[in-house]
Amino acid sequence: MPIPDDKSRREARLAEALRTNLRRRKAAARPAPDGEDRAAAAAVAAPQPYSPVRCLVGLSHRDGRQVTLRLELSVPYGAPHSDEVCCAVRLSGDGGAFDTDHGKAAFGVDGLQATQRAIALAQVALDLASTGFELSWPDGRPYDLSAPI
């Protein structure tokens, strides 16, 4: 009986996590039918400063440059022109869809649901960043995308 290889098990978990989040990544990057990105527009109203949640190091797959990635969340706030509550997510350093002054907002019926959805959206942001960067902790340990935030 073969001994299970931890590396292949980790890679299988990572592949499964990426497949599972594929729909979320596509939905987060897709603009609304009217051309306006509601999540980006709502994030403009987020109170500043955002709270740093996670700091990672990214090594570019393309040219090998190293960047610092900072994942940040806002406190929950009222959505503009709606009864919903928002929580904004920003991932700076990768140049992706979440690397703007305000990031993107997740919506909920209350602050707790908005925060839960923002955490799921943060996972999507990290998944998107992993397509261009090898992610690791500042001390050099590899970052496990299959682990929950």
Q: Which residues contact residue 119 at a Cβ distance below 8 angstroms, ignoring those fewer than 6 apart?
A: 73, 149
Q: Measured on CA atoms in the order 30, 131, 138, 7, is the torsion positive or negative?
A: positive
Query: Is residue 30 predicted with pLDDT exceeding 70?
Result: no
Model's pTM, two decimal places? 0.76
Where is pLDDT greater, at 133 or 17? 133
Does residue 95 or residue 21 have the better pLDDT? 95
Q: Which residues pair with 57 in a beta bridge?
A: 68, 136
- Name 30's Cβ contacts closer than 8 Å, sequence gap at least 6: none
Mean per-residue pLDDT for 15-33?
56
Supply the pLDDT for residue 68. 96
pLDDT in tens, 60-113: 999 999 999 999 999 999 999 889 999 999 999 988 888 899 999 999 999 999
Q: How much is the pLDDT for 58? A: 95
What letter does residue 142 receive in the DSSP assignment? B
Distance linking the first and last C-alpha atoms of the chain:
35
The residue length of the chain stands at 149
- Give the pLDDT score at 47: 92
Buried b or exposed e, range 28-65, using 16+ CB within 10 angstroms? beeeeeeeebbbbbbbebbeeebeebeebbbeeeeeee
pLDDT at 37: 85
Contact 99, 91 (CB under 8 A): yes
**Cβ 39 vs Cβ 59: under 8 Å:** no
The answer to whether the beta carbons of residues 98 and 91 sit under 8 Å apart is yes
Give percent above pLDDT 90 in the chain: 62
- Per-residue confidence (pLDDT) for residue 97, from 0 to 100: 86
pLDDT at position 1 is 47
Can you give the pLDDT at residue 148?
A: 82
Q: Is the pLDDT of residue 15 over 50?
A: yes
The predicted pLDDT at position 20 comes to: 64
